[in-house]
Chain A
């Protein structure tokens, strides 16, 4: 549980308190996710340096999986990059809504940018729960400790997953590759709270079936743009209809 220290707590102590909060179910799920991602990198015949580099410099699992999967399927770097861009735009609203919780007037810009590098779903959810009980001047450092600990977890997960894919018996190795779709399926369903996103989720799954079979290279961008736009427009039209009814 979160310990609330007094105002004069030493900086290192706050940092370590933050790091300790990574030893939680959320931290374990994240480790497992990156373990599965490491196995994916190995199964895609890509080198471990690439997998680890992306974990450190991207630190957002959906984008990493899209990028690795696209590269493994022989897409061009530009189209793989564009797809990754689309999956990463969701970090913008996450950052916008989380930063006011973390910062105070005196928080240096570099610290905000350093923390922002780690903002993705796990850090967002955990920080929204863990930080508000703390005094404002401790939050940034506490959060940084949490993020650095997660970086350590995820890097180890990536490396272990990569080598496990080669060492484990084939059935178990296949099972580790199931972690990513199961995890994405459950967590995306949970985070898709708005009506637009729920419709987009169903449309994305449905459209991907014919597209993967007949146009595998266009499956992601096609399902994403068509499914997302149709979901957005249908909800918008529904809202306008309601206004007209009044």
Chain B
């Protein structure tokens, strides 16, 4: 486990990495061009970064999720995505379907593995 000082430092780093962007937004909101080249590039980088984070969370997941097979993790995301498009982008429903399909697949897996096919 980590000590109190590390906890404090991590929170401080998180705050300093985040809050100044909001302050900058407050102070420059009267004369900042949202469509400037630098902002477009930054948005592209942060989109790709979060997309990569999603993939890393699925490929090399934390904690007990690691024990679920990769194919189950990916299929659960697929089920959620399909629900999202079929049911007019209802986020809560899609997440619920993703989780239920994850549990069903997890439960079915030993049966599938045991089958002769």
Contacts and interface: CB of A to CB of B under 8 A. Distances in A.
B48 A231 contact: yes
A178 B77 CA distance: 8
Contact of A231 (B11, B34, B44, B64): B44
B18 A60 contact: yes
A67 B12 CA distance: 12
Which 7 interchain pairs have the tightest Cβ spacing?
A43-B63, A95-B25, A204-B51, A224-B49, A228-B45, A227-B48, A204-B48
Interface string A41-59: 0111111011001100111
A32 to B, nearest CB: 7
B95 A86 contact: no
B65 interface: yes
Interface residues of A, number: 108
Contacts of B25: 91-96, 99, 116, 119
Interface in B37-72: 39-65, 67-68
A163 interface: no
Interface residues of B, number: 69
A165 B63 contact: yes
Interface stretch (A13-21, A132-140, A147-155, A194-202): A194-202
B56 A208 contact: yes
Contacts of A89: 21, 42-43, 46
A43 B64 contact: yes
A57 B52 CA distance: 24
Interface string A70-83: 01100001001111
Nearest to B42: A89
Interface string B1-45: 110000101110111111101111110110010100001111111
Nearest to B61: A177
B112 interface: no
Contact of B98 (A46, A95, A178, A219): A178
